[in-house]
Structure 1
Amino acid sequence: MALKDLLVVVDDTAAAAARIDAAAQLAARTDGHITGLYPVVPLTLPGYVEAELPDEVRAMQRGYTENQTARAEALFADAVRRNGLTDRSEWRVLYGHPTDSAALHGRYADVVVVGQADPHRDRDRPIAVPQDLVFECGRPLLVVPYAGSFPHIGERVLVAWNGSREAARAVADAMPILTAAKRVVVMAVNPKAGPAGIGDEPGADIAKHLSRHGCRVEATHIVTDQIDPGDTLLNTVADESCDLLVMGAYGRSRLREQVLGGMTRYMLEHMTVPVLMSH
């Protein structure tokens, strides 16, 4: 599958510009089409309050929404222009919850580009939530961190491999990026041994598969109880100057991850580079 149809979820957060830029440069690299989706969340008030609102207040609400929408569209249009995507772009404004809107429209795209939640700023505003979207849209997510800029995505890629169905799905979804990458590192952290594990040479099988697709790939693994597996991956991202992490999402139930913790939750909270994840 080629990445010919990208959907980027745009919002009013400060991180929106970097997210749009990341999606636009990826669309330009893959000769793809980019759609900007701007969900507008209607203000819901109790009926008795709504009935008493003066016309001036209603006009102010409409004006604020129109101004925010125009600002978001301007960011999208600028990124589209700079990346030569004017003839391969579309802008959509929808009313509804961002997660619901992104899940519905994301089913008609090859990948959905969404932002990491900022715990300091996004608590009181509706946003497209990656934890929910990865289950509901049926497409891979490219989650872009709320801090930083990402001028290159997919030149040096780290694949988090544990032999699971979710990891295999993520590798397949990321294949157009992996085949074009300058370097791909497959890493297994604390790999399981035995028949239910991933072999005597952890990562070798999936690396062989990737090499048959023309990927410039190498496999490595680490066994440690001194460092959290998530930190091990992020340390490798830094050491190898990777600009993308590919991983499966929620190999165990979301409730269990919420209670006990897990790799998906950890990455969504601590990511330092964009993460392509699939469930």
Structure 2
Amino acid sequence: MAYKTILVHCDASKNVAHRLGVAAELAQQQGAHLVGFHARPPFQTPVFFDGGFPMDDFFKSYEASVKADLSVALAAFEKATKGRHLSTEWRVVDGFVENDLPVQARYADLLVLGQTDPESTLPTPTDLPEAVAIASGRPVLVVPHIGVTAAPGKTVLLCWNASRESARAATDALPLLKAAAKVIVLAIDAKSSPAGHGAEPGADAATWLARHGVKVTVQRDVAADTDVGATILSRAADHAVDLIVMGLYGHSRMREMVLGGASRTLLGSMTVPVFMAH
């Protein structure tokens, strides 16, 4: 099992090279076809328009902006893939990224997106990674906006709570887990139950992974009075983890993402890539 098509979101952000570098490296490792995706948002009449200025001026400004953004995104994609032995494709659509990216994602094995940058001035929705993961049904690898020092996947932290979401994330991440030098199954505040954890929380998941050839260990922890997401980040730092795998807990309500606490914490404070699936 390997990823054969990887889709990476390419915009004009100053941090786009970070996610492109990770996507290109993973595509090379997996022997995957790499698709660079760019969305050109449609022209929208300014809400403050009162007819005092020619509409042509607004449209010319819009055209210049989308053309410049496309040029920056394409240049970044070409730079990231230059000199690599990769099968690549550049794909551009006219539409809103939050609408078109989930559709394109259904024909890929893995998406690579960037973490929301609070300093960005681009119109990219701040909840794009989680919205795409929930709407597309495909796993998403989110790369920190601060970048990474090496390709992720050597030491992996798998967040396990015996839920459907965590099982889905673990299954979708199998190509990465099998290639890792070490995988730590982390069970936090785990309790045995007929519908969840077994007698030894995390042990059943570790046994299943070991049958796939994954080099796996189990760690059980207690969040106590701290947020579960903060505990996950702390353990990731303790073990020098370079990739966190987790199920995404949440849903979309009236175009507003309603996330679980751990998901929200990790997506906001991540320092290493986060692989998530819903």
TM over 0.5: yes
Aligned to 2:67: 66
TM-score (norm 1): 0.90
State how 1:99-178 maps to structure 2 within 5 Å. Answer: 99-121=98-120, 125-127=123-125, 129-178=128-177
Greater helix share, 1 or 2?
A: 1
Between the aligned partners of 1:66 and 1:57, the Cα distance in structure 2 is 14
Paired-residue identity, %: 39
Moved over 3 A (4+): 46-51, 56-61, 252-255, 257-261
Q: CA deviation at 1:10?
A: 0.9
Conservation of the 8 A alpha-carbon contact between 1:25 and 1:151: no
Specify every segment of 5 or more residues in structure 1 that has no aligned partner in the other structure, as ranges: none
Conservation of the 8 A alpha-carbon contact between 1:202 and 1:220: no
Q: CA deviation at 1:4?
A: 0.9
Q: CA 1:260–1:214 in 2, change beyond 3 Å: closer, same or farther?
A: closer
Aligned to 1:12: 12
Aligned to 1:244: 243
Secondary structure in 2 matching 1:238: helix
Aligned to 2:232: 233
- Paired residues in the alignment total 273
Conservation of the 8 A alpha-carbon contact between 2:155 and 2:242: yes
Q: CA deviation at 1:120?
A: 3.4
Q: CA 1:207–1:261 in 2, change beyond 3 Å: closer, same or farther?
A: closer
Secondary structure in 2 matching 1:136: helix
Conservation of the 8 A alpha-carbon contact between 2:163 and 2:196: no
Give the AA of the match of 1:22.
Answer: V
Aligned to 1:191: 190
Give the AA of the match of 2:179.
Answer: A
Cα deviation, 1:140-175, whole Å, max 9, x if unaligned, reads 111111112342111111000000001000000000
Give the AA of the match of 1:20.
Answer: L
Aligned to 2:41: 41
Between the aligned partners of 1:180 and 1:258, the Cα distance in structure 2 is 32
Q: CA deviation at 1:65?
A: 2.1
Q: CA 1:182–1:103 in 2, change beyond 3 Å: closer, same or farther?
A: same
The CA RMSD over aligned residues, in Å, is 2.4
Q: CA 1:150–1:95 in 2, change beyond 3 Å: closer, same or farther?
A: farther
Q: CA 1:231–1:130 in 2, change beyond 3 Å: closer, same or farther?
A: same
Q: CA 1:179–1:259 in 2, change beyond 3 Å: closer, same or farther?
A: closer
Q: CA deviation at 1:243?
A: 0.9
